[in-house]
Amino acid sequence: MQRRQIIVVGGGLAGTATALGLARAGFDTLLAAPEPPADKRSSAILGKSLAFIADLGVVEALGEAKAPLAVMRIVDDLGRLFRAPTVEFKASETGLSAFGINALNADIGAALKAVAEKTDNLEIRPVAATGLTLDDDRAVVTLADGTEIAADLVVAADGRRSAMREAAGITAQNWSYPQTAIVLNFEHSRDHGSVSTEFHTRTGPFTQVPLPGRHSSLVWVEDPKLAALYIDLKPDKLSTTIAEKLHWILGDVSADGPIARYPLGGSRVDRLTAKRLALVGEAAHAFPPIGAQGLNLGLRDAEALVNLASQSLDDPGSRLMLSRYEAARRGDVISRTAGVDVLNRSLLMDFLPGQIARSGTMAAMGLVAPLRQFAMREGLVPGAGLTGLPHSVRKWMGGHEAGRDGVEEQGYGRH
């Protein structure tokens, strides 16, 4: 039987980043993952998560295929009696030049793979894992080609329908929302100025996020029946509809490439670990694409696991290491999952006291700078709302003099 110190199952963004981080920490690591399907979505990577992949060399490998996020704007477009004021969260208020970056998932995946292929201690096998047995001394993973491999630790990063999680007997609670996410990229006639705008509508967020040049990505949360109708619109009509929903802030719009749609739902698990097993990414948690929290939460899983395993070099799958991982990640996962769920449901709610409370919260954010700055720091790094941003984040997103276009030069990618 073959043996590795660590086997990571699942080749999505969080899984590949975990395998890369563990290999860089010196562990003999196997990444077992078939080629992922084509993914036209984009992801915003912020704060601590960006610092993690930047230290691995992934941001540098992205090259020009990324756009900075300097401002995040929230606009109340609900059309209700109590309208919240527009709130702008500016990275400069926290002493940063940007909150992070946005890039196409395909480009992030390619950058991760390019770095992984040059990394010692990391073997990539494009084979799915189909079986798992766990005991006190080791875990054994069975691959689709019949190969059995023993390891000290197995990392399940194989998505919200994780076969490894099910084999370990970890249960997941799943729920759905009466919403569908339409995902596409588009070109526009006006510069986005590194500003992301999230319109809160009665059916959910309508969120534009900058891509390089005069391009942006769009996550459009809609009623499922309306989503089906929008997707079937002719390209010109769809582009005009998007521009109207953006209130023409980016001028004329042209939808770029294929359109995808995803039913929205969420999940959470009763525990993040089992004997010789740790869950990361969507194997551990999943929720709607609101507030750029999904991938960032998975990357924080990866960073925590790498750091804690590095403190247990002789046995990275020990009971002590896994208990520390469980304790380190539980609060962040619970709070982010609950926060996104509450925000999403509040947009669908016509309950008047709820509208007043939401509007009041947004007004306070806009008017009270310390409260706004607390929220920004907490969004970038859990726990940093009161303590301040750590050096690792400022290293990659520290403030610099303004560039010629008025947007501060970016600190990410610098050594």
CATH class for the domain made up of 2-60+105-174+266-340: alpha beta
Cβ–Cβ under 8 Å, residues 347 and 198 = no
pLDDT score, position 256: 87
103-139 tens-digit pLDDT: 999 999 999 999 999 999 999 999 999 999 999 999 9
Strand partners, 154: 7, 277
High-pLDDT (> 90) share of the chain, %: 63
Least confident segment among 30-34, 262-266, 307-311, 320-324: 262-266
DSSP string for residues in 167-209: HTT--EEEEEEEEEEEEEEEEESS--TTEEEEEEETTEEEEEE
Least confident of 133-147, 212-226, 356-370: 356-370
In contact, 176 and 27? CB cutoff 8 Å: no
pLDDT of the residue at 309: 98
Q: What is the mean pLDDT of the chain?
A: 86
Q: Is residue 210 scored above 50 in pLDDT?
A: yes
Mean pLDDT along residues 333-358: 63
In this predicted model, what pLDDT tens digit does every residue of 4-23 receive, in sequence order? 999 999 999 999 999 999 99
Is the pLDDT confidence value at 391 over 80?
A: no
pLDDT of residue 363: 57
| pTM summary value | 0.87
Binned at pLDDT 50, 70 and 90, residue 349 comes out as low
Query: By C-alpha distance, which of 309, 316, 284, 287 is closest to 298?
Result: 284
Q: Which among 194, 182, 205, 200 is positioned nearest to 92, based on CA atoms?
A: 194
The alpha helices in 44-120, defined as continuous H runs, are: 47-55, 58-62, 105-117
Question: For the chain, which residues make up each domain, given as ranges?
Answer: 2-60+105-174+266-340
